[in-house]
Structure 1
Amino acid sequence: MEFRVYYEDTDAGGIVYHARYLGFFERGRCEFLRRRGLSVRELADEGAVFPVVRMEVDFRASAVLDDLLRVETEVLEVGKATFSLRQRVVRAEDGKTLVEGRVTLVCVRPGMKPRRLPEQLIGALRSTNGAG
Structure 2
Amino acid sequence: MPDQTCFTWPIRVYYEDTDAAGVVYYANYLRFCERARTEWLRAAGFSQQRLIDERGLGFVVRSLSAKYRRPAVLDDALEVVSHIDSLGRASIDFVQRIMRGTTLLFEARVALACVDLAQAKPVALPEDVRAQLCRFVSA
| TM-score calculated relative to the size of structure 1 | 0.91
Cα distance change on mapping 1:3 and 1:26 into 2, 3 Å? same
**In the alignment, what sits opposite 1:63?**
72
Runs ≥4 residues deviating over 4 A: none
Return the match for 2:124 from 113, 116, 119.
116
- Is residue 48–residue 118 contact of structure 1 (8 Å, CA) maintained in 2? no
What is the aligned counterpart of 2:99 among 90, 110, 114? 90
For structure 2, list consecutive stretches of 5 or more residues without a partner in the other structure. 1-8
Report whether the alignment pairs 1:12 with 2:17: no
TM-score, normalised by the number of residues in structure 2? 0.87
Aligned partner of residue 49 in structure 1, secondary structure:
strand
Inter-partner Cα distance in structure 2 for 1:114 and 1:59 = 30
Deviations 1:61-105 (A, max 9, x none): 0100000111111111111111101001111xx221110000001
Q: State the Cα distance separating 1:119 from its structure 2 match.
A: 2.5
Code of the residue aligned with 2:43 in structure 1: it is R
Within 2, Cα distance between the matches of 1:120 and 1:27? 24
Q: Superposition pairs for residues 65-80 of structure 1, below 5 Å?
A: 65-80=74-89
Provide the residue aligned with 1:54 in structure 2.
Answer: 63
Contact 1:81–1:107 under 8 Å retained in 2: yes
Report what 1:101 is aligned to. 108
The structural deviation recorded for 1:127 is 0.6
Q: For structure 1, which runs of at least 5 residues remain unmatched after alignment? A: none
How high is the sequence identity, in percent, across the aligned residues? Answer: 43
Deviations 1:29-76 (A, max 9, x none): 001111111111111112111110110000000100000111111111
**Structure 2 Cα separation of the partners of residues 6 and 100 of structure 1:** 20
What is the distance in 1 between the residues matched to 2:18 and 2:81?
A: 21
Amino acid at match of 1:14: G
Distance in 2 between the 1:116 and 1:27 partners? 24
CA distance in 1, matches of 2:12, 2:109: 23
1:129 to partner: Cα distance: 6.1
